[in-house]
Amino acid sequence: MFRLLEDSATDTVTVRIEDREYDVPAGISVAAAVLLCAVNKLRNTPVSGSPRLPYCMMGICFDCLVSIDGVPNRQACQVEVAQNMTIEYQQGAAELQQRE
């Protein structure tokens, strides 16, 4: 469904999405990388359990929430990929961490 443009940059970084490594173009968002790699979901909704993927690609809808390098509730469309980044699915509602 998604593909790179013919004249796009050739520098790549390696990211791990749910225990599988992918080489993706440097400088793209995590959401774009997920779509490019044909991953079939990033999270499940808390009410119905429906799978979700990036939707708006500009930080408004929150359908792209994931855990990045162990930090939950990150918007994949707002984070640029980095070498050896680990991206994990988020299940259900976002969990808030309380400050002590």
pLDDT at residue 98 in the model: 63
What is the CATH topology of the domain spanning 12-91?
A: Ubiquitin-like (UB roll) (3.10.20)
Side-chain half-sphere CA neighbours of 60 within 13 A = 4
pTM above 0.85, yes or no: no
Rounded average pLDDT over 66-76: 93
Rounded average pLDDT over 21-46: 90
List the domain boundaries for the chain: 12-91
Locate 35 and state its tokens: 């779509």
Place of tokens 């520098």: 11
Q: What is the DSSP string of 37-77?
A: TT---SEE-TTT--EE---SSSSSS-TTEEEETTEEEEEGG
Q: Is 35 in contact with 25 (CB distance < 8 Å)?
A: no
Beta bridge mates, 43: 52, 90
pLDDT digits (tens, 9 = 90+) for 74-90: 999 999 999 999 999 88
